[in-house]
Amino acid sequence: MPATGDDRLFMAGTVADALAALAERGSEGAPFAGGTWIMRAPIRREAQAPFYVGVGRIPELNAIDVAADRIHIGASVTHARLAAQLAGVAPCHGLATAAGSAANPAIREMATVGGNLSTSDFSAADLPPALLCLDAEVELATTGGRENLPLERFLATRRDLDPGTLVTGVTILRRPVLTGHARLPLRKAGDYPVAIVSLAVQLNQNGVVEDGRVAVGSVESSARRWPGLERKLVGHPLDPRQAEALAEAELGAFTGRDGVEAPGWYRVQVLPALVRRAAQAALRSRS
């Protein structure tokens, strides 16, 4: 076991080492990468795990592989690296914006992709809605092997994963879509947005939407798709004002969560404006 100066932390050099350490500790062990959520546990009056397995130095988990047909992002890639390396890479305009605008610069240098997706109690994460629009799959590893789960299913089941499960990466297929990401922070909310909208649309040669994905974050306890609005966007040109009006008619799909920074009704009411801004961003990404 590499020396760390803390007998509660094991720094793994490979995925296999990390999985072995997690399996040995069972329910007492937890992965540790950027640590931005874990280190603030005392502020939230939450107990920390008795033992952590550091995965931030594993080369495989720090890689971003951009291929012609797909992009694989390691779980320990930070928001700052993700934003920098995917800038200008199709179809990642929305994802790069999400990574580059999350929290604040100091947090973006530490917070990781895997941590952002795995922290089920953090409702205001920027990456889940952006990745939902790209039909992302999450790669999970255990001592028994690896499997890929659609992100939507992962978000719904992440609280129930076995303690020895490690998120190792995210994969997205490269499709001819335009993407945009919009968020609304409030001063009293600190660095986190009260509502998020991500959008991905495929247009035909006449500029008409043939297929679309819209995802919402921070409004409810977990990010999710907006299928009613997706259906209404298809068959029409991507017009930001029209998209805003269509969103206004579909607000009944959400029940906003109340919080100290914003009431639930407000989170829902700002969604149409964020849809308009996300559509504008998607159209700008063509240039």
Q: Which two tokens stand for residue 237?
A: 């040109």
Candidates 3.90.1560.10, 3.20.20.410, 3.40.50.970, 3.30.465.10; CATH matching 60-173: 3.30.465.10
Shortest CA distance to 54 belongs to which of 15, 23, 24, 12?
Answer: 12
Cα–Cα distances in angstroms (integers) from residue 63 to residues 56, 57, 75, 224, in the given order: 11, 11, 9, 27
Strand order across the 51-54 sheet: 9-11, 51-54, 29-32
Rounded distance, CA 40 to CA 185, Å? 20
Q: Establish how many alpha carbons lie within 13 A of residue 211's alpha carbon, considering only the half-sphere containing its beta carbon.
A: 7
pLDDT range class, residue 3, cuts 50, 70, 90: very low
**pLDDT digit string, tens, across residues 46-60:** 888 999 999 999 999
Contact in structure between 259 and 227 (CB atoms under 8 Å): no
Over the Cα atoms of the chain, what is R_g? 19
Average pLDDT over the chain, rounded to whole? 94
**Residues 122-128, mean pLDDT to the nearest whole number:** 96
Q: Write down the pLDDT at residue 2.
A: 47
Candidates 3.30.980.20, 2.40.30.10, 3.30.43.10, 3.30.470.10; CATH matching 9-54: 3.30.43.10
**pLDDT digit string, tens, across residues 72-108:** 999 999 999 999 999 999 999 999 999 999 999 999 9
Where do we find the tokens 């995925």?
A: 15
Q: Is the pLDDT of residue 217 over 50?
A: yes
Rounded distance, CA 42 to CA 47, Å? 7
CATH fold for the domain made of 178-284: Enolase-like; domain 1 (3.30.390)
* Domain regions of the chain by residue span: 9-54, 60-173, 178-284
Please list the alpha-helical segments (H only) found in the chain: 15-25, 79-86, 93-101, 105-108, 113-118, 127-132, 151-157, 227-233, 240-248, 264-269, 271-284
Positive or negative, the CA dihedral 107, 102, 113, 64 is negative
**Residues 131-149, mean pLDDT to the nearest whole number:** 98
Contact in structure between 38 and 59 (CB atoms under 8 Å): no
